[in-house]
Amino acid sequence: MYRAFNTAVSGLQANQTRMEVIGNNIANVNTTAFKSNRATFEELFAQNLRGAGQPNGNRGGIDPMQVGLGTHVVSIDTIFTQGALQTTGKNTDIAIQGKGFLVLRDVQGAQMYSRDGNLGLDADRRLVSATGLMVQGYTADKQGVINENGPIGNITIEANRTYPPRATTKVNVAGNIYRPSSLTAAEAYAHSQQGRVTSGVTVTGLGNGAGQLQLGTANPNTLDAGEFTINNVSIVGTVPLVATDTTTTVMQKLADLINFHKDKTNVVATVKQAASAGAGENQIVLTQLQPSTDKQIVVGGTGLAGITLNASQLFTAGTTTIETLATNTTGQATAASISLTSGDILVNGVDIGSLAATPATSTAEQNAQSIISLINAKTDVTGVTAFSDGNGRISLKAMARDIILSGQTVAAGLVPTAATPGGVTKPNVSGLFTGLNQAKTATVIAGTSTDVFDALGAKHTIAMDYISDYDVVVAGGIVQGTRDSGIWNWAATSGEANVAVLSSDGNTTTSNLPLRQVSFNDKGILSNFSGRFTLNFLNSDAINANSIFSFNTNLSPNISQPQPMTVDVGTAGDTNGLTQFSGPQTLTVATQDGYSAGDLSSFTIAPDGTIRGLFSNGQLLSLGKLAMASFVNEDGLIRGQQTSGQGGNVYQETSNSGSARIGFAQAAGNGTIIGGALEGSNVDLAEQFTDMIVTQRAFQANSRTITTADEMLQEVLSLRR
């Protein structure tokens, strides 16, 4: 009878322990990364009442007979199932999805393990757990390289960490630069009103010699103040020459010098190759940026006539000039009677009308004024005004565009011509001719800008203008309209007084100046691109005393060399860069690879445990990597800080867990780290409440066993009465 008491007591004790386990699970239902436990029972030793009997002849065998002596708790297991992830948004919070433990170290140096990712930074910027244990991991060097095979240690996030700058070496340009395939005079005028089609002056040089260049009168390769002006701004500086220079490379250098003054002239210079009868022409094209209704490009200067290349004059001064056709080489209108019939002179496609015969006693100036009156009467339509120098020379001034002169040839079908550099001739119109007779009808501009960075991280804004001209269509001596030449030329410029943007690769001993141009096929897809640019950093007196092409080391701080950059506009035959489709202009600099110095502003923890610093310049740098531990038998871990007798939501290894295998997330079977989140408890309340009911009933049943046994014993004792 007494065995029943002992058996029931063992049941009470086992279920009491089980209830304690259930209570602990419920108490930790909101504990970060808590892993629930379960209690399992085992039967105690059973007392043998009879042994087993072997069968013998006609007698069968006998089974053993035993009475159990109760139960006891055989194990309390930790259930390492995944807890639910809860997003927190805190950059130091992490959750482990999958297997593995964070590695921590206490003040005595004991190594511990936890799945609790509630981390933070202490006053020394060390990554620590909520209880102050040091998070262990792999450190990174100043370049962000992590030694994953090295020892683990404390992870420190330096507050004053700086990311070094990187000089820009490549600029990626993309977008659409559209131009119609052809323009009539009326269309050219309409486009000019949109503000992105502007007048231009074509400057022509011929020949292919070894760079014979004559600039100023005082120094053949130097322009001094007043010798060459664009829009009343002196273009000053020196153009260096090398033995391998060609007409194209010399013009490219001269264009660089002109563009160095763009901020004051509002004119950008590009270099192009144009077909011509007999020989190709290398041309500098001066284009007015953002023209208004009264702007034009005026080229002048005391040394203008001396600016030659290979014995060919490069620039023509003043406005577009009209002269009456005569033997008068001074450009004055012919004295005596002149007359015009309707259709003789068209300005921008508009017939200026007829002119009755002037008196035979008319002076050249009187005749000029008669023609000027007809032209100016149509200014509202043509956008062109005419004026005289007082001596019979007529000049035309365009309003934000080039001038198209067209009309009938002179009497008897004679086609007058005028010599141009190289002996090439161009048709003239209706008894008048212009010094820029092969005038463009319009220039289409597609512009953008980008910030680039030098070796010290200083930011410089570079403008990039893509310019395309239309060629004049001449048929039977009559200028009829324009057609697409299919080529865009481009220039890079800076508005900073101490930055020159050059066409070279930064080597002043060579003539590596490829022509800057872009071409497309008939489907608007990129077919060819060439050109690059180099930033040259100058001191304040460079534009007066030194050439912008010579690098000056008088800088504080010093930048040791020019900074060459390549330009990538996509792959030829593809649409991954520049295109020329019908549609709006969408030119943009997609990317550039430079950046300034940056300070550490925040950090994130990647899925593989890498701690990546985010700097104020937008760059990322690896600062370290969290270590992660795994075990052969994670059920063999012991809970709590055994050295201090505290809990702390940690585990320590035991002889049955096996030694920790130290690695990192997403490797060797370890799980993934989720930044900005915490793992919740894996306690299932519904399961715990169910177990609680079962445990309670089992405890009650064992209690009833004791009560019943007591009543039975009481009956035995009452037999003697």
Write the pLDDT tens digit of every residue in 611-629: 999 999 999 999 999 999 9
**Higher per-residue confidence, 185 vs 690:** 690
Q: Residue 334: which domain range?
A: 321-434
Give me the amino acid identity at 237: G
Instruction: Please say which residue of 371, 405, 434 terminates a domain.
Output: 434
- What integer pLDDT is reported at residue 436 of this predicted model? 32
Residues 33/648, Cβ–Cβ less than 8 Å = no
Number of structural domains in the chain: 4
**Helix, strand, or coil here: 244?**
coil
On whether both 357 and 472 belong to a single domain, the answer is no
Residue 687 lies in a domain: no
**One domain for residues 424 and 567:** no
**pTM metric for this prediction:** 0.66
What is the mean predicted confidence (pLDDT) over 407-423? Answer: 34
Residue 431 confidence (pLDDT) above 60: no
14 and 121 housed in the same domain? no
Average pLDDT across the chain, whole number: 78
Above 50 in pLDDT, residue 209?
no
CA-CA distance, 149 to 672, in Å (whole number)?
A: 20
Distance (Å, whole) CA 381 – CA 379: 5
363 contact partners, CB below 8 Å, separation of at least 6: 335, 392
Residues 300 and 220 in one domain: yes
Q: 23-27, 168-172, 369-373: lowest mean pLDDT where?
A: 369-373
Tokens for 196, please give them: 């992105």
Answer whether residue 684 is part of any domain: no
Beta partners for residue 200, in sequence order: 287
Same domain, 200 and 297: yes
Residue 364 within a domain: yes
Asked which of 401, 434, 467 is the last residue of a domain, the reply is 434
Does residue 419 carry a pLDDT above 50?
no
User: Which residues have CB under 8 Å from 539's CB, separation 6+?
Assistant: 498, 552, 554, 555
Per-residue confidence band for 326, with pLDDT thresholds at 50, 70 and 90 = very low
Sign of the torsion angle spanned by Cα atoms 363, 364, 369, 375: positive
Residues 477 and 569 in one domain: yes
Looking at the structure, tell me whether residues 617 and 713 fall in a common domain. no
User: In terms of Cα–Cα distance, which of 394, 399, 408 is closest to 378?
Assistant: 399
644: pLDDT strictly greater than 80: no
